[in-house]
Every structure is written in structure tokens, then in C-alpha cells.
Structure 1
Amino acid sequence: MLPSGFQVQIDPRCARRGNLRYLVGGSPMRVMKLSDPALGMTSADGRIAVADVGTQVLARRLLDAGIAHPRPMSGPCVADVTVVIPVRGNQSGVDRLLAALSDHEVSVVVVDDGSEIPIRVSDGARLIRFDENRGPAAARNAGVAATSTEFIAFLDSDTVPTGDWLTMLLGHFADPTVAIVAPRIVGLQTVAAGSDSTSFVADYANRFSSLDMGPREALVAPGTPLAYVPSAAMLVRRTGFLSFDESLRVAEDVDLCWRTHRAGWRIRYDPIAEVAHDHRESLSGMLNRRRFYGTGAAELALRHGELAAPLVMTAPIAAGVVALATRSRIGMLVAAVIAAIVCRNTMRAVAHVPQREKIAAVNTGRAFGFGLLQLAAAVLRHYWPISFLTCAVSRRFRVWFVWVAVVEALVMWVRNQMVDPETPVMSPMHYLVFRRLDDLAYGAGLWQGVIVRRDVGALRPVITRR
């Protein structure tokens, strides 16, 4: 149950129809109709304050639909938190992080995961040392076992928290069903692009890190735009912590998030709190890390099945997207017919909603747009070995592949600037080059994992009827 005084705010990106009675948004997109009593509980600016059973039910429905976000008034105190720092061979990072935490009234446990030169810690921090490397999952679990506080913050040794990050995150635990909260992970420093490639690499890593989940707060759940949060910076509730799978050396954070969601707990991402990350600045280091992340897809597919699918679409959208991708007149005609059918069906589903034509058109356009981006990611990232082989034997496919590689990067470059206008602009050309290298590295790791595990689940698309 949400406590009295807890508030939620309707997402400003959520479309409102009929004087706030109809809300269009969430993930997946849906239309929610508010009853007269529910309208009376909602302020003009879209806030609902929990005061009784009715407001509790309404607030919970909006939160779980992704249509509203929490605005808790207060949460647990910082003294109820222990920070666990897993580390292997990064003494300077530990020193920097401990210095950053010195102003916080938190206990600190450092777990040395088999460093060749033993890690040293300052007074006040507890040190646990493994004789041999056991992996970050085991290190974090050992750190949790050595704590007694109700909340545990995981911070990697190459991170530096900024501002009042902990207080901002703790407020979310006023909701007793929240087990994990994560901040936004940003680059420790943004390196201006210079004449040498190392500066360009650092520039890309700082602005487009795979650890940065973006500027929009969200409910985290598999099958949504934000399917997980990274454990490089994460705050957990002890009673909702299911432990990391120590058999995993990669993707252990994704696995934890999905198991936590399946167990009925909720996970929040709040970008107002930020933790800086010292990204690898060499090209080989960055690409090797991306490849390593890619190997985790096979492990996730073995444990979570279709949740790890590289591509998920309904059959009508898949057919329309493939037709569009042919760039032929017949393909365009087929796609137009499918889009018209999808739009008509959507209009029927929201026949009672004002401006249903606009809602149906926007929903259809978004579905096709997202489908096209998924198809592009498939040929450029997940299935690029097959794409390369096809390019070698088909000139037509080769031309189409190059066209997709360029257009997808430009679309994503524009999208990134629109979603996060405060992020410094990187030139489209440099972004194109590094994004394609990023895709090649991740895809190589994906296929490596599939071959090692002898399971193609991470390559199997999911096409649903509707």
C-alpha cells in the first residue's frame, strides 16, 4: 500500500483527451479512462496525492501503467544505507570513490575481487578480500552478506556519485513494493572532440555509454523501452534483493532485474540523481567491453527465454516493415494497406475516445517507426554476420545495407538530440562511425555467446499475432 501523502505525477508526455478524462500513454501505449471520482482526485496539473483507499488504487494503476511517476514526499534516511564497492585492480578508483563518499553518513564495504596487488582502504571502510577472482556478482553478494542495513547501494570502483544522489533515490522506497532504484549514469567528463581518434572515442563513450539509460524517468520492466538498469550504480531494498547469480560474469544486472520483476517487486529509474562513470577511453577497450556485454545475451536467453529476443513485433507490423524495407512500389503499397488496417483496428478499439483518429494515426506511426528501427538494429547489430555474407553475394542488398547503416545512424543522432537536448552535440559523421563499430562489437559478442552456449535463443525473433 502506498503511504498517505505519497504523490504521483501524470507524465507530461502523456496525451490528455476530454479534459483529462482520457489518458493516452504508458508502455506499452494504452488509453486509460478516469471515472468521475478519479477525476476529482486529480489536480489540474495532473497530480494525485494518496489520502485514502481510492487514491491509493488510482495512484497504483497509473504507476503500473507507466502513465504516472512517483513524487514521494520523504523516504528512509541515509544512515540506513551501506555502500558496497566491488573492485579488482583499481586502487585509484577506490580512493576517488571513498573520497567522494566521505561527506555521506553511510557505511562502506569494499570487496577486493582477487586483485593482484591487494586493495587498500581508508579508515572507516570495511575490506573483504577474495584470494581469487570470483566475479562482480559474487563480490556484491559478499558485500551484502557483510551488511545489516535495510538498504544497500552498489557502486563500481570507476564511479563517482554527484550531488544529493542518495537522498533523491531513497524517496522511492516510500513505496513498499519498490525493490530497486537506479540513478542516471553519466560520463565522468565530456572530452571535446580533437584531432586524434582517442578524443573522439572518449567523446562517444561519455555521451552514448551503454550504461546511460537516458533522461526520462521510468518504471523498469522487461518488454518495455527500459528493460533493466545497470548494477554499476544501483540501490536495493534488502527484503527485495534476490542476490546476483554468481554463475554470471556478464548481464548479472539484467538477470537480477528480470527475476525481481517476476517476483512481483517494482523497479524505478530516476535520472534526476546522477552518478558519474569513468568510461574507457581507448577504442579497443570500449569495443572489447561492448563485445563482452554481447556475450550475455545467450546467458539471458537460457534463463529467461523470449525476454532476451533481439526483435519483438506483431505480425502485421512485421509484414508492413519488411514491405517498406524493400523500397519498391509494391512494397510501399502493401505497407500502406497494412497501416490502414492497423489504424482502423486501433480506431475501433478507442471508438469512445475523443480525437480517436489522431490517436490511431499516432499509434500506428509509432508502431511502424519502432518496427523499422528494430529491423535496422537486427541487420546492423544482431545479425550482421549474415548481413555481411549477403552483401558479398548480392549487390542490391549491399546498396540497401549501406543505405540502412547511414539512415539509421542519422535518425538516432537526431532522436538523441531531441530526447536529451542538454547533451553536447557530436558530429553526425563521428557518431555514424562509432555507432556502427559499437554494433559490430556487440554483435560479435552475441554470436560468440551463442556459439559457446550452443543455443540460438538470443538470435530467435518473436513475432506475435497482435
Structure 2
Amino acid sequence: MTDTSTRVPPRRPGGLPEGTRVMLDPRVRVHGSVVLGGSPWGVARLAPAALALVARARVDGPHGTLPQTLAERSAADLLVERGVLHPVVTPRSSRVEIVVPAYGRPDLLDACLASLTRSAPGGDVLVVDDASPTDEVAAVARAHGARLLRHPENRGPAAARNTGLAATTGDVVAFVDADVAVPRGWLDGLVPLFDDPRVGAVAPRVLPRSRSRTLLARHELARSALDMGARRELVRHGSPLGFLPSATLLVRRSALADAGRGRGGAGFDEEMRVGEDVDLVWRLLGAGWHVRYEPAVEVHHEMRVVPGQWARRRFEYGTSAAALDDRHPGRLAPARVSAWNLAAVACMLAGRPRTGAAVALAATAALAQRLRSADVDPVLAGYVVGKGLLADGAALGHALRREWWPVGLVVLAASARSGGDGLGGGAGDPAGGRGAGRVGRRTARTAAAAMLVPVALEWVRTRPDVDPARYAALRLVEDAAYGSGVLASAGRQRRLRVLVPEVRLPNLPRWGRQGPSSGGRRT
């Protein structure tokens, strides 16, 4: 799922409990009194108290630093709000009510409940059997001492979770899918995050598990769709992490009530068989709640390693796009790019590199003027513009692999032609045709690079047990399967907006003395 909108939700009252240590997000860059980073990415000039806090946090690292004055505590609250700082959790013994939606697959449910029993003996676990075809789910639940509710007919995972929610009373409820196994003490590192009254939901890292060693299994170990990565994140629209899966998700009950009802029921939207977790997280964000991702806690999810099932599941994920666009208009543009950057790249592809460079320089000069007026070093303008060019190129390449994959396939085929025609014109064409051919070849090669370079960098970063060529091929198949689901849902529900990129006009952040303002944007 790609969320490219940067509309900022309302701020919620409250802040970090006194005594909470904070750590600096490792992607944040500090230049003098200016920080670059956060969720979504932005630029901010810091007040002295905030600057002192950030400086200590850089030195103290993951252990975190403690705000020492009232001004530093205020700065910490604001910088946590913007994703520049993250709270450091002190694990403590925790128990919450756990809801496990289940449909068939009793062997996986057995492993799930066994892990829950080991991690929290005597814990309150409720299994909601969503009309499984046999009585085995009920037998497994009883064997592990779990409470059991059963739907008379299959209503989907959203309805099963809502049934569990209505049958529990705790302030925090944990939803754990039946194909997930948890480690001992897994709640101890997640529940303390709710000490911040602004936090509405928290999720751990969901890692894949399988005994298979097939090519697809090895690929999934490095590229599971449920694995959100190794970095702590404040989930936000327009940020590196814009949603969380519900395979394992802890939610504050009052936040669910505040976020409103989904269609078909309170909590999760019962009309959605896929994408209901994205919808819930987005409603929480829209109501101003913080949603946090804590990868220090890891749970394990059974992988789908049968090729047909794997591709079908990616397709199903994609089919949620139209329903999500219906509920959250404009959130799912396949790419959101700057008009400046589009103009610069278009000029370069048309064989006018000087004009393209002039456009990029004009964008840099405009940003430098804004920075100067905000008393920020205008030298940062070049960095920001360059970062934006790379980010927009990656966004377009991502769309060419997914929602626009038929066009991407043509691009890859054209770019692979050796010394040939490209996308138009050849050696025997008139001069105009030859010029068009050169532009076509240049465009195809540039677009192919935008598609494949991020995949290559991903392989270098993760070093999966798959050779680069087959890794790239599986990534293209995976993205095309998801994109096919988007195309199918867009056609069926006439939601073509999910296929149209959003071109943003210059919209620079407003500046604050403590941290990024509500106008900060991803570049």
C-alpha cells in the first residue's frame, strides 16, 4: 500500500510521561541549528532547548537521553510528535486481553495459542471462530484454555476482530492473527508505549517463518509484505511508513471510539475483506492519534510459499485500493511528485539538459530564498532539491512496477533492445524520426533505471539468499500482481483516481522555533 498524501492531522492533547527517555531518529540530519527529517520529512530550525536535547540524543544513541528541563520536555513532546525523536521503552510486565480471529487452519492456531500461553501464562485470550468448516478450531481453543466465540456464518477477519472487541473490556486490546507466533514477554515492550496518552495503536515487527527453502521462501524471508523494517517509525501519511498490518496490532479502545465507526461495525470496517487494517490506521491518524511501530519486538508469521497463493494474495491486497479511495479520497495516488522535478526531468529527456538544469537551479533558488527569509542557511536548498529529485524518481519507478506495470513492461522491453529502435524512430527514419527515437530510447532507459535501481539497492542492503537477477524478477512479479489488483478494483468500481499521479506545486514548510511545523512535507 502506498500512501502519498501529507495532510496533517489535528494534534492531540497530552505528552510523554515524566522520566521518558528519547532517542534521535537515525535518519535525521542536523546542520547547525537546523534538523532535516521526521515523519513526514521536513526542515526545522530549533530553539536552544530543542537543539541541546537533540545534541545529547545524538551522543547517547539508542539508550536515549532524558529531557532535563521544562523547556526540554516541551521540545521532546513536539519532536516526538514530528517523528524526529522516538520514546525509548522501558519494558515492564504487561497483560492485556488478546483477540485471535480464526478460520480453519487449526495447526497454525495451535502454534499461535501455545506461544501466547508461554508468553503470558493465564492471560486472557479470546478466539473468535469465523464459521470454520469443522470443529477443530473450537477443540484447539478449548485445549489451550482460551475463551471461544463462534460466528454462525463467515463474515471476514474485520467482523471477527469486532466481535472480540465487543466481548472484551480492557483499555488496550491486542489483535493477533491465528497464523502468528509470539515470543515470551512480547507485550512488555509494546504496552508501555501507551503511557503516552497520544498513542492510539502500536505494532511489533512481523517477520516471516517457514521450514521451506525454495526460491520463493528465501525471497519472502527478505521481502515479506508484513515486515515493515528494522527502524522505529511514527506512522504518518506521507512518511516512510504510512500504515501497519493487523497481523499483530495493539489498539487503545478509546482511540477506536474516537476514530469513528467503520462501515458495517465499530472498529474495523466489516465491509472490507482486505485493507481493513489500513482503513483503521488511517482513521486513527485522521483523528489525530499517534500510531507507533516498534521493531524491537518481533513476532513471526507463517509465509505463503506456494507461488499461486503468494501471487493471489498480492493481487488481493491490491484490490483494496478502490475501497480505500472511497473511504479516504486522494490518499492512494500511485505517485506524488513535484512539478519542478517533472519539468526538469522532461527537459533532460527531451535532449535539453541545459534547460533542465536551469529548472532545477530555479527550484533551488526559490527554496534558498524561503530558507533565507526564515533565517536558515540557504546552502541546504541544494540538498533538499536533490533529495526531492531522487525521491520523485523512485516514486515514479515504483508506480511503473506496480499500478502502471503494463507500461513498465513496455519500458523494460524497449530499454533492453541492443543498439536498436527504442520507442520510436530508427536508422532509416527521417531526421525527425531519428530524433524522436533518441528521445524514446533515453526515456525508456531512464524509466527502466527508476524501476530497477531501487530494487538493486534493496538487494545490496538486505543481501537475501537469492541471486540479484531472480530477486529482481520476483520483485517485478510481486509488484505486478499487486498492481493488477489495483487495476481490477479501479475498473470494477470506476475509481480511476487511484491510477493518476498527483503533481504538487511548490509547497514549502512553514518554520517553527522548536521543531517542524504542521506545514512540513516530504520531499
Does residue 439 of the first structure (1) align with residue 495 of the second (2)? Answer: no
Which residue is equivalent to 1:286?
Answer: 310
Alignment partner for residue 237 of structure 2, among 209, 222, 233? 222
Counterpart check, 1:35 vs 2:75 = no
Q: Give the CA deviation at 1:135.
A: 0.7
After TM superposition, the structure 1 stretch with the greater mean CA deviation from structure 2, 210-219 or 39-48, is 39-48
Residue 78 (structure 2) aligned to one of 56, 61, 82: 61
- Whole-angstrom distance in 1 between the partners of 2:68 and 2:268: 37
Query: Residue 404 of structure 1: CA displacement?
Result: 4.2
Report Cα offsets for 1:147-169 as digits up to 9, x if no partner.
12221111111111235321111
How many aligned residue pairs are there? 449
Unaligned runs of 5+ in 1: 193-198
Q: Does 1:464 align with 2:504?
A: yes
> 1:464 corresponds to which letter in structure 2?
R
SS of structure 2 residue aligned to 1:274: strand
Q: 1:424 to 1:189 in 2, by over 3 A?
A: farther
Match of 1:196 in 2: none
Q: How far did residue 69 of structure 1 move?
A: 0.9
Of stretches 120-129 and 246-255 in structure 1, the one that deviates more from structure 2 is 120-129
Q: Decide whether the 8 Å contact of 1:251 with 1:300 is kept in 2.
A: yes
Q: State the match for 1:345 in structure 2.
A: 366
Aligned to 2:105: 90
Alignment match, 2:23: 9
Tell me the alpha carbon deviations over residues 155-203 of structure 1, each in whole angstroms, 9 at most, x when there is no partner: 11111123532111112111111011111111114855xxxxxx11111
The one-letter code matched in structure 1 to 2:105 is N
Of 351, 376, 395 in structure 2, the residue corresponding to residue 374 of structure 1 is: 395
Q: 1:157 aligns with which of 167, 170, 178?
A: 178
Q: 1:38 to 1:411 in 2, by over 3 A?
A: closer
Q: Distance in 2 between matches of 1:390 and 1:45?
A: 46
Q: How does 1:135-150 map to 2 (within 5 A)?
A: 135-150=156-171
Write out per-residue CA displacement over residues 328-365 of structure 1, whole angstroms, 9 at most, x where no aligned residue.
532x33432222222223333333777642x3232222
Q: Which residue of 1 aligns with 2:458?
A: 415
Structure 1 letter corresponding to 2:17: P
**Aligned letter for 2:336?**
V
1:452 aligned residue (478, 485, 492):
492
Cα distance in 1 between the residues matched to 2:217 and 2:483? 21
1:233 aligned residue (219, 230, 248): 248
User: Following the alignment from structure 1 to structure 2, what is the Cα–Cα distance between the partners of residues 424 and 390?
Assistant: 27
Change (3 A) 1:271 1:44: same
Alpha-carbon spacing, 1:36–1:439, altered in 2? closer, same or farther (3 Å): closer
Tell me, what secondary structure is at the counterpart of 2:129?
strand
2:38 to 26, 48, 52: 26
**Aligned 8 A contact 1:160 1:188 in 2:** no
Distance 1:367 1:130, change over 3 A: same
- The DSSP-based 3-state class of the residue aligned with 1:396 is coil
Q: CA deviation at 1:403?
A: 7.1
For the pair 1:113 / 2:125, whether they are aligned, the reply is no
Tell me what 2:435 maps to: none
Q: Measured at CA, do residues 460 and 404 of structure 1 come closer, stay the same or move farther in structure 2, by a change above 3 Å?
A: closer
Distance 1:136 1:68 in 2: 34
CA contact (8 A) 2:371 2:377 kept: no
Q: Where does the alignment leave 5 or more consecutive residues of structure 2 unmatched?
A: 1-13, 59-63, 258-266, 415-420, 425-439, 507-523
Q: Secondary structure at the match of 2:281?
A: helix
Judged with a 3 Å threshold, the aligned counterparts in structure 2 of structure 1 residues 451 and 371 are, in CA distance, closer, same or farther, namely same
What does the per-residue CA deviation read over 1:55-110, in whole Å, with 9 as the maximum and x for residues that have no partner?
Answer: 332112111222111114466x422x111111111101100011111123321111
Distance 1:82 1:149 in 2: 6
CA contact (8 A) 2:219 2:465 kept: no
Q: Secondary structure at the match of 1:117?
A: coil
The answer to whether the aligner puts 1:261 opposite 2:282 as a matched pair is: no
Quote the offset at 1:377 in angstroms. Answer: 2.0
Q: In structure 2, give the amino acid aligned to 1:225.
A: P
CA distance in 1, matches of 2:230, 2:200: 21
TM-score by length of 2: 0.79
Question: Match for residue 351 of structure 2?
Answer: 329
1:172 counterpart residue number: 193
Match of 2:276 in 1: 252
State which drifts further: 27-36 or 345-354.
345-354
In structure 2, the residue matched to 1:188 is 209
Aligned residues of 1:309 and 1:462 also touching (Cα < 8 A): yes
SS in structure 2 at match of 1:316: helix
Contact 1:188–1:278 under 8 Å retained in 2? yes
Q: TM-score, normalised by structure 1?
A: 0.89
Displacement of 1:304 in angstroms is 0.6
Larger mean CA deviation between 221-230 and 390-399 belongs to: 390-399
Percent identical: 33
User: Displacement of 1:7 after TM fit?
Assistant: 2.1
Q: Quickly say closer, same or farther: Cα 1:342–1:402, change in 2 above 3 A.
A: closer
Question: Which stretch of the first structure deviates more once superposed, 374-383 or 47-56?
Answer: 47-56
When the two chains are superposed, the root-mean-square deviation of aligned CA atoms in Å is 2.6
Report the counterpart of residue 300 of structure 1 in structure 2.
324
Larger radius of gyration between Structure 1 and Structure 2: 2
Looking at structure 2, the residues matched to 25 and 299 of structure 1 have their Cα atoms a distance apart, in angstroms, of 31
Distance in 2 between the 1:406 and 1:234 partners? Answer: 37
Alpha carbons of structure 1 residues 455 and 36: separation in structure 2 relative to 1, 3 Å: closer
